[in-house]
Structure 1
Amino acid sequence: MTEAELAARAAARKAMLRIVASLSLVVSVVLVHAGSLDTPFVYDDLVEIIGNPLMHAGTWWQSTFSGNTLPARPLPYLTFRINLEVGGTDVRGFHVANIAIHALNAVLLQALIVAGFRRATAERLGERSRLLIATCVVLVWSVHPLQTQAVTYLYQRIELLMATFLLGTLLAFDRSIDSRRPWVWQAVAIVSCAAGMLTKEVTAVVPILVLLWDRAFVAASWREAMARRWGQHLALFGTLGILVLLLIGQSETYGEFREGGIAHSGLEHLLSQPPVLLHYLRLCVVPIGQNIEYGWPVKRSLDLESALIGSLIVAALIVSIVLLFRAPRHAFLPLAWFLILAPTSSFMPALTIAAEHRMYLPSAIVLLGIGLAIVRLSPRTADRRATVLALGGTVAVAITFGTLTVARNLVYRSRIDLWSDSVAKAPASPFSRAALGLALADAGRDAEAEEHLRVAVDLLGTSRSKTNLAMVLLRNGKRDEARRLLEEALAATPQLPQPLVHLGNLERTERPELAIEYYRRAIELDPNQPQAQNNLGAMLALTDPAEAEQRIRLAIALDPTNAEAFTNLGNLSARQGKLVEAIAWYEQALRLDPGSRVARTNLQAVLAAVAERRAPRRD
């Protein structure tokens, strides 16, 4: 066998080894998350995907660039729209997409770690060792229960895609260094970075990360990095313009700046972060006590806890900056950790103090650091024995973490289970109380819902929280208290349409003309209010059938899951003598809500009328 043939065979074995290693990551991700395919939409999923009228009735441009109550992140929102177009509101399609993106991120992360090892440890680690360490670290990361919030909570596809484009940019930049056609990989890096800017604000740090990678693993000095690749770095920083335009265009839609959103300053957010960051680090090693909404208390002033933890964090940051100029390869990981967390975990106020999805990529840095420390401290052994030990230890940890991930995903199996878990762990969280109250209300458990929504009003006191409570009070027959809360909410936030909608619901029976006025005012504030459109259409059915049909059809376009709207359209068709159409509308209403007594009763009446018409007459 010639040397060329031997080299070709060796290259084929190496390629097969890389493929097997990557497939092992993909299979592991699928195994631990396969049980979550039927997990329902929760939290912001309900507002920004299912309850976002533009996702159902808007143009592709509108659904991509306009959020509902939160700012739109264009590329993730585009994928949500694609999911809806392909599979409707079937949650399984959304979960398949999230799991696939997470698996892709695992493969990209593995490749990036191997690339870093190749540049930093080429003399000390062989190719197999580099691949082994990278695969072990990424395997543990990919099945870690800390990733459940990013993967199973569907709206956090935003975090997943941000990671995809961050990893893709770094990997493409690294490939461009040694490629025969560097411009191809440079273009991929720039496009990936630009896509990240259309995904999440954290991507603003990516051009800095690329520059750090260049200095840490490629260039011998800052001068060399800028002299040889100044054009590419300039282009990457230029993509920040995309993010700036998005921020300017959506400045009024950020939840942090809306009524009832953020209630603390940037300084208070910063003071609250030290114990949160310590909690994140603890979860990386001991992932117990996870919560979808921690309700983490805001620190209004510097206390001993934040001072002690914060001083250690600042010291670590200073050491990392010093290392950047003395030993840049050792500085990359800690600086990357700080940079990725900086937009959400520093002085820029965010709606929530602590959120697990923020650690999606930073947790990989922590686990890689732990893995490198183990390698450095382990005694040198024969290659085969080291491989067996590494694989055995990794598999044991991966099985443990994978089991915890499966268990954590079970908590997401229903909204009530998820928020009951959250309230049990954080009873003072107003967001958890409100979410549990709404979940109970949707399940018809209004008495329990009222209890939690009252706590949310006491803790939060916003117009939205009062409106939510009033909705349940109306169903519980407490009309006077509901009216008072709705009027308070409307007085405090006159631009909010929901209080007007519920005031209309309150007046429908006793003062229908006033109810119609409330609905019209709500629609003036927001024409994309399906409930207001539907209820107004139902009110106009006798006096103006043409407008009534227009309103109800618009409500269905805005929310195709609204069974009541289909029932109202059936009622309207029945009054107009269009019995066949009425049957179709009632049947659709029952498909959406099999327990609807109104739709079932009216369907039976129309079917009886049709049967009577078709029955032969006897003279």
Structure 2
Amino acid sequence: MPFIFDDLFSIPYNESIRSLGTAFSPPNTNGETVSGRPLVNFTLALNYAISGNHVWSYHVVNLFIHVCAGLALFGLVRRTLLLPSMRERFGRDSLPIASAIAALWMLHPMQTESVTYIVQRAESLMGLFYLLTLYCFVRGASVVTQTAKSASVQTGKLGSLRYVGWLALSLLCCLLGMASKEVMVSAPLVVFFYDRAFVSGSFRKAWAGRRAYYLLLASTWILTAWLALRTGSRGMTAGFNTEVSVWTYLLTQCQAIPHYLRLVFWPSGLVFDYGTPLVTSLGEVWLRGLFIIVLLGATVWACVRKPKLGFLGIVFFAVLAPTSSFIPVATQTIATHRMYLPLAALAVLASMGVWKLGGRKAVQVFAVIAIALGALTFHRNLAYQSNLAIWSDTLAKLPEKDRARASNNLAHALIDDGRAAEAIALCVEAVRLKPDFTQAYNNHGYALAKLGRFNDALLYYDKALSFGQNGMDVTLNNRGYALYNLGRYEDAMRDYRGALKLRPSYAEALSNYGNVLCAIGRYDEAMRQLDEALRMDPEFAAAWNNRGNIFAAMGNNPDEALRCYKKAAELDPSLALAIDNVARYAVFLGRSEEALPYFEVHARLKPADALVRQGWGNALMLLGRSAESIPHFERALELDPALFVSRHNLAIALVETGRPADAITHFEKALALQPRSAPLHHNYAEALAKVGRIDEAIDREREALRIQPDFVWAKEQLDALLEQRRRASSVAHFTQP
């Protein structure tokens, strides 16, 4: 499960997580998910310290957070059912009920986005601290109840300490939640409503009994406000300064919330990214809006008449409110991960209803539902196995009008998968749906560049840059690469400098800039760029490969060049260019044995690349393993019959393995490709001589010498052949009757 979508700017492109010392200052330039969420950024920094850009540790931590959140929900429900207001009816069954609720919540496929999609750790981490804030409060409230029953002074003092301790932990968890995601803002009010519904029985008693605690809990809003002010509009992606109006966003949420509710009870058709669909007319959603108003009215009524039931409605709407009401989130108007915590309220509501109807027999029903949900979650996770899989799945489920972003992102995934030609149609479709879609124009150019159509690519890069939107650094870097391949080095360097001005920590642009400097012989400057790129990202395989190019070009340290190529191949076993460089450079250094495993890997990566097979065969011939080289030359010629080197070397290998007659056909075909190759005529002569065609062999050697008069081997072989013919003629004359 690789980095996908918003993961990129929050993890591999996020310089602040490279050091724990800078981890509490997350970036805020492109609306990164970690922006304004220092605790999330810090946990990612811990992951980076463990595994760098390898995803395994990030997934382990995400799963750990989700499990802890599930345990917190279990503890919260169980402790709630054991409170005096609930104990008589549910206390005896608190363990199975809490277990069922936690299991259904944890296994629901709607949770996949918050757990498997790495950067949505923001949602699950906030959810964990939200639940712990409530859990610690319940533990504190339980201490008061137990202490009140005891007549012991000592027990009372100890109880007071435990009570204060649990409330202090609740306060700490609330503070940590505020540093995880802004949705935590509703937690102090939700705790107050919980106290009124399950503990104190009224708002007045709750406030009178724990006024200081609630004031301290409310003080955590200061942190949220400070973080929000520091991020501004999160790179113009959220808040009242975005291009999406408050009214339009509110109407869109009238569509989103009923959709979320449908997915809770029928989780079919889950979508990873909905793009930015907007509802602009009340007529489109008035019925769903009315439904939401009814739900809100029912929640208010329940809060007055049935506070415990009303509390679940409060949780649902309070947690959704910051992202699913009227405050625009322009880049993601609908998102399934927002239901991570509200789903808990619905799980409690549904489970308690089933339990009331079936009693302990409901355990069997819960078990069946849990197994079904687990199976659906497993199946949903299959879509997260690759960028190609997740965007293919997303595109297939969206209505046509909302497919612009998914089409563009699938196009990018196809390009990275070596299917650039297929990507072009998706880029065209994305632009049709959104004419000012900068990234789609950029990807169109990227696809054309991958196909070697660099002049055509420039047209699309220029179009992308004309809009002046976010992502110009990427487009400038890509245009620089196209210009480099067209030999326009000065123009390429100008673009790379422009990209680096926009994003100084852009490792890819640094690496590419170094590559251009290497091409024009400015090796010292090139090395500085590559070293800086590797400082930004020590595991950037392409930069290691380009560093190897510099050493190879200078020629003063071939061992270091080969080490850099090998490092690149080790970091990215799919980077065919680095693997090819290892293999070819090892052969160049006379270390063909080292090259063989890399040729094998390269052939697996590019099974239709004739030159890979040719290089593999050449390496085997240099090691004197001509018989093993033959299948590789034959495969190369199947892929490209016009390869002269493969044709020539195959013929030589056949001669060396005692098959000169088979070699002659290949020598003739090689001559058709390069008739003025003196070595070819010489080697052909050897094959002809071995099958007794001496006169033809002599003609070939003479042709070789005509092309290259100083060809010593041809002269020696010609003399030997002439002597052989003279002797054969003498013997024939002597034996004639």
TM interval, shorter chain, is: 0.7 to 0.9
User: Could you say which residue in structure 2 is the equivalent of 1:539?
Assistant: 516
Describe the SS at the equivalent of 1:50.
Answer: coil
User: Could you say which residue in structure 2 is the equivalent of 1:402?
Assistant: 374
User: Could you say which residue in structure 2 is the equivalent of 1:445?
Assistant: 419
Deviations 1:438-490 (A, max 9, x none): 11111111011222122222223232332222222222344444323322332
Alignment pair present for 1:46 and 2:46: no
Give me the whole-angstrom Cα distance separating, in 2, the residues matched to 1:601 and 1:333: 60
Alignment pair present for 1:153 and 2:127: no
Q: 121, 130, 133: which is aligned to 1:166?
A: 130
Alignment pair present for 1:308 and 2:287: yes
Q: Is residue 48–residue 68 contact of structure 1 (8 Å, CA) maintained in 2?
A: no
Q: Is residue 503–residue 515 contact of structure 1 (8 Å, CA) maintained in 2?
A: yes
Alignment pair present for 1:92 and 2:56: yes
Q: CA deviation at 1:604?
A: 4.3
Q: CA deviation at 1:193?
A: 0.8
Alignment pair present for 1:464 and 2:442: no
User: Could you say which residue in structure 1 is the equivalent of 2:206?
Assistant: 225
User: Could you say which residue in structure 2 is the equivalent of 1:25?
Assistant: none
Q: Is residue 479–residue 495 contact of structure 2 (8 Å, CA) maintained in 1?
A: yes
Which letter does structure 1 place at the counterpart of 2:480? G
Q: Is residue 3–residue 55 contact of structure 2 (8 Å, CA) maintained in 1?
A: yes
Q: Where does the alignment leave 5 or more consecutive residues of structure 2 unmatched? A: 144-158, 592-737
Distance 1:589 1:293, change over 3 A: same
Alignment pair present for 1:359 and 2:339: yes
Deviations 1:501-541 (A, max 9, x none): 22222221332112112211221221111121111111222
User: Could you say which residue in structure 1 is the equivalent of 2:659?
Assistant: none
Q: 507, 511, 526: which is aligned to 2:488?
A: 511
User: Could you say which residue in structure 2 is the equivalent of 1:435?
Assistant: 409
Q: 243, 247, 260: which is aligned to 1:267?
A: 247
User: Could you say which residue in structure 2 is the equivalent of 1:327?
Assistant: 306
Deviations 1:346-394 (A, max 9, x none): 111112222111111111211211122223344xxxxxxx43x122111
Q: 227, 230, 233: which is aligned to 1:249?
A: 230
Q: CA deviation at 1:205?
A: 0.7
Alignment pair present for 1:65 and 2:39: no
User: Considering only aligned residues, what root-mean-square deviation do their CA atoms show, in Å?
Assistant: 2.4
Alignment pair present for 1:563 and 2:541: yes
Which letter does structure 1 place at the counterpart of 2:265? V
Q: Is residue 516–residue 536 contact of structure 1 (8 Å, CA) maintained in 2?
A: yes
Q: Is residue 54–residue 558 contact of structure 1 (8 Å, CA) maintained in 2?
A: no
User: Could you say which residue in structure 2 is the equivalent of 1:349?
Assistant: 328
Give me the whole-angstrom Cα distance separating, in 2, the residues matched to 1:406 and 1:436: 23
Deviations 1:220-266 (A, max 9, x none): 322222222111111111111111111111225446159xx965322
Distance 1:362 1:253, change over 3 A: closer
Q: Compare 595-604 and 235-244 and name the one that shifted more.
A: 595-604
Q: CA deviation at 1:284?
A: 1.2
Q: Is residue 64–residue 75 contact of structure 1 (8 Å, CA) maintained in 2?
A: no
Q: Where does the alignment leave 5 or more consecutive residues of structure 1 unmatched? A: 1-38, 379-385, 613-619
Distance 1:334 1:253, change over 3 A: closer
Give me the whole-angstrom Cα distance separating, in 1, the residues matched to 2:576 and 2:467: 37
Q: Is residue 419–residue 432 contact of structure 1 (8 Å, CA) maintained in 2?
A: yes
Deviations 1:172-204 (A, max 9, x none): 122222431222112111111111111011011
Q: CA deviation at 1:112?
A: 0.9
Describe the SS at the equivalent of 2:210.
Answer: helix
Q: Is residue 63–residue 81 contact of structure 1 (8 Å, CA) maintained in 2?
A: no
Q: Is residue 169–residue 189 contact of structure 1 (8 Å, CA) maintained in 2?
A: yes
Give me the whole-angstrom Cα distance separating, in 2, the residues matched to 1:411 and 1:521: 37
User: Could you say which residue in structure 2 is the equivalent of 1:234?
Assistant: 215
Q: CA deviation at 1:338?
A: 0.5
Comparing both chains, which one has the higher relative contact order based on Cα–Cα distances under 8 Å and sequence gaps of 6 or more?
Answer: 1
Describe the SS at the equivalent of 2:53.
Answer: coil
Structure 1 length-normalised TM: 0.85
Q: Compare 534-543 and 278-287 and name the one that shifted more.
A: 534-543
Distance 1:507 1:184, change over 3 A: same
Q: Is residue 165–residue 193 contact of structure 1 (8 Å, CA) maintained in 2?
A: yes
Distance 1:104 1:454, change over 3 A: same
Aligned residues: 562
Deviations 1:314-359 (A, max 9, x none): 1221232243244322210001100011111111111222211111
Q: CA deviation at 1:207?
A: 1.0
Which letter does structure 2 place at the counterpart of 1:502? N
Give me the whole-angstrom Cα distance separating, in 1, the residues matched to 2:291 and 2:588: 78
Alignment pair present for 1:502 and 2:478: yes
Alignment pair present for 1:318 and 2:306: no
User: Could you say which residue in structure 1 is the equivalent of 2:501?
Assistant: 524
Q: Is residue 47–residue 68 contact of structure 1 (8 Å, CA) maintained in 2?
A: no
User: Could you say which residue in structure 2 is the equivalent of 1:417?
Assistant: 389
User: Could you say which residue in structure 2 is the equivalent of 1:193?
Assistant: 174
Q: CA deviation at 1:290?
A: 1.0
Q: CA deviation at 1:589?
A: 1.2
Give me the whole-angstrom Cα distance separating, in 1, the residues matched to 2:222 and 2:29: 24
User: Could you say which residue in structure 2 is the equivalent of 1:368?
Assistant: 348
Highest Rg: 1 or 2? 2
User: Could you say which residue in structure 1 is the equivalent of 2:628?
Assistant: none
Which letter does structure 2 place at the counterpart of 1:239? T
Which letter does structure 2 place at the counterpart of 1:69? N
Describe the SS at the equivalent of 2:180.
Answer: coil
Q: 575, 580, 586: which is aligned to 1:607?
A: 586
Describe the SS at the equivalent of 2:86.
Answer: coil
Q: CA deviation at 1:63?
A: 6.8
Give me the whole-angstrom Cα distance separating, in 2, the residues matched to 1:433 and 1:63: 35
Percentage of pairs with the same residue: 32
Alignment pair present for 1:491 and 2:466: yes
Q: Compare 460-469 and 277-286 and name the one that shifted more.
A: 460-469
